[in-house]
Amino acid sequence: MKNKRRQLVRRRSRQAGTTLTEMVVVIGIAALMLGLAVPAVNMLLNSFESESGAKSIISSAMASARAIASKEQRYAGIRFQKLGDPNHPEKASQYIIFIIHDTNIMAYGFRAVEGIQPIKLPDSIGVMDMTIVPTRNIQNPINPSIQLEINQDNLINDNFELIDTSTFSIIFSPSGKLVIQGVRVMNRDGIGDKTYIVPTESNDDIFNKKWKVDAGLAMFYQDDYWIAPTNWGLGPEPSRNSFVIYYTKEFRQAYNNGKPYSGYPKPWNRVYINPYTGTIINEK
């Protein structure tokens, strides 16, 4: 009886254990699955580096901005802007920042939405509105004195022009409709660069004065720099209803060769936004 019991225990032990052959098979299957998973992950990451991936990111950001406008019952939107590097804007990373209208700043003043961090665009992709505003209208930014459509090299071959065209906003009304709205982005305290009253400063770490950005205390220059001596194309201007997506590597090469418009090897296809749904509708 005891011998039979021992034999049964041994048989169950062998059944519960794992042989060397079984272990090799399991490890082989796991390695195969990992080998299949890595390319899939790489394809997913690479998809965001493409034009279609950029459109998906922008579309999601616009949908979120419309939701913010509806919830807060204020104008809200997204702002495209490069990190503060006025000497090498062609190399600077570009972000999407969520902004909201704030009359405490000024009639057409906007600031960053608190609690939402900027979204970095893929390094291989950039966005422009293909417009520069050499003369600003302070009283009515919706109608600038001069506004030029970029269609030749000399309109985008200076740093301030590149910063200007890569810095723009898309704004939605409280009802969720795309609108053309005057925009001047400032820090949340509305303290301008030329404020000479009490020496107060804003602790806004998203938009702020140039010296704060240069010191690493904020990310982006506010709209205070469109006249000499710090003319970086950053000032009040109308929001936009279209833009172009470009590949930074090809554009950088064309820019460094002095032919940023004509030397760019791909077509400058303009992307439009449906004014009622806030979605990308077509290109031409």
Residue 180 token pair: 């053309």
Average pLDDT over residues 132-160: 90
What are the residue ranges spanned by the domains of the chain? 2-35, 51-283
| Cβ contacts of 223 within 8 Å, gap of 6 or more | 183, 184, 185, 186, 234, 235, 236
pTM for this model (two decimals): 0.81
pLDDT of residue 13: 46
The tens digit of pLDDT for each residue in 169-228 reads 999 999 999 999 999 999 999 999 875 555 678 999 999 999 999 999 999 999 999 988
Task: Please indicate whether residue 35 or residue 259 has the higher confidence score (pLDDT).
Answer: 259
The tens digit of pLDDT for each residue in 59-74 reads 999 999 999 999 999 9
pLDDT of residue 53: 86
Residue 87 token pair: 């000497």
- Residue 99 φ/ψ, nearest 5 degrees: -125, 160
pLDDT band of residue 34 (cuts 50, 70, 90) is low
Average pLDDT over residues 14-31: 55
Task: Please indicate whether residue 73 or residue 44 has the higher confidence score (pLDDT).
Answer: 73
pLDDT of residue 182: 95
Amino acid at 100: I
The tens digit of pLDDT for each residue in 222-245 reads 999 998 888 899 999 999 999 999
